[in-house]
Structures are given as C-alpha cells and as structure tokens.
C-alpha cells in the first residue's frame, strides 16, 4: 500500500511555510504563496523520497517480473526482498513514510537558506538558528495521516 507521494512532500512544504508564518517568523506576499510553495517543493523534493519513489525504484529493480497468478507484483517475495534492499539504500532516515536523503537538520538549513534568498518572501523576522530549529520540529511533527 502506497502511503506517501510527491503531494505529501508538497504538503510538508505548505506546512513548513504556514507554521513559520503563523509563528511570525516569516512574511510572504499573499498573492505569491502558491509560487513560494512550488519553489520550496522544487528545493526540498530531491532530499525527500516517498513510498511512491521507493515503490518505483523497487519495480525498476524487479524488472518485468510478474506474478504467475497475475496478481499484484508488490505481493511477491521477489518484490519484498527488492523493496528491503531499496529501503536500506535510500531510507536512512524514514519518518511517517518520508525517506530523508540528508539529515533533517540539513534540510532545515536548506529551507532557511531558501527563505533568506527568495525574492518571494517579503521578510524574515528571526535568526537562522531559530528558523532551523522550528523547521526541524515541523518536519518531525509532520504526519501525512493527519492531513485528511
């Protein structure tokens, strides 16, 4: 069962921006909010794999092997073994179905740099360290199950 996908990462980006704005740490131009979300997503997306990414990489590894009974490939032993290998390779830091390719602290540093450099962020009201600490907290607290 695939739980997370790229929309989940986009929702994580929205959550980061909303919480920082609600805590008066940043100010965005309201008309450009969706552009900021898209830009942050583009920045963060290579650092965060999803269940969908893991599934696709597993299917690539398994190849064209199809179950003899015509069932779901994800239910085969070959798929489970390949998935385990893929998760070991790409899932160093997994949290709620998101697989972080760098530490969460490094992601927070990247988000902070993005905020400081973006022309679409009207103002940043806090220190880099406080923003990074808050982003780490937001990422750790983010749970895709709570989105519905």
Q: Say if residue 127's pLDDT is above 90.
A: yes
Which pLDDT score, from 0 to 100, does residue 94 have? Answer: 85
Q: What is the mean pLDDT of residues 80-109?
A: 87
Cα(139)–Cα(131) distance, integer angstroms:
12
Number of Cβ within a 10 Å radius of residue 32: 16
Phi-psi region of 58 (alpha: psi -120 to 50; beta: other; left: phi over 0): alpha
Q: Say if residue 70's pLDDT is above 60.
A: no
Which pLDDT score, from 0 to 100, does residue 64 have? Answer: 60
CB proximity list for 79: less than 8 A, separation 6 or greater: 58, 59, 62, 73
CA dihedral 49, 50, 52, 54 (to 10 degrees): 60
109 or 143: which carries more pLDDT confidence? 109
Kindly state the tokens that stand for 23: 């805590």
39 or 60: which carries more pLDDT confidence? 39
pLDDT band at 84 (very low <50, low <70, confident <90, very high): confident
Most confident of 6-20, 43-57, 92-106: 6-20
| Helix, coil or strand: residue 50 | strand
């Amino acid at each position: 069962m695939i739980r997370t996908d790229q929309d989940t990462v986009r929702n994580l980006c929205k959550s980061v921006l909303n919480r920082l704005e609600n805590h008066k740490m940043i100010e965005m131009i309201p008309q450009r909010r969706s552009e900021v979300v898209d830009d942050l997503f583009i920045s963060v997306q290579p650092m965060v794999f999803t269940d969908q990414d893991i599934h696709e990489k597993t299917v690539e590894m398994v190849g064209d092997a199809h179950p003899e009974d015509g069932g779901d490939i994800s239910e085969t032993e070959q798929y489970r073994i390949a998935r385990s290998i893929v998760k070991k390779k790409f899932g160093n830091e997994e949290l709620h179905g998101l697989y972080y390719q760098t530490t969460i602290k490094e992601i927070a540093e990247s988000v902070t740099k993005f905020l400081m450099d973006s022309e679409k962020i009207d103002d940043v009201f806090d220190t880099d360290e406080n923003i990074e600490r808050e982003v780490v907290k937001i990422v750790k607290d983010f749970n895709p199950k709570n989105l519905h």
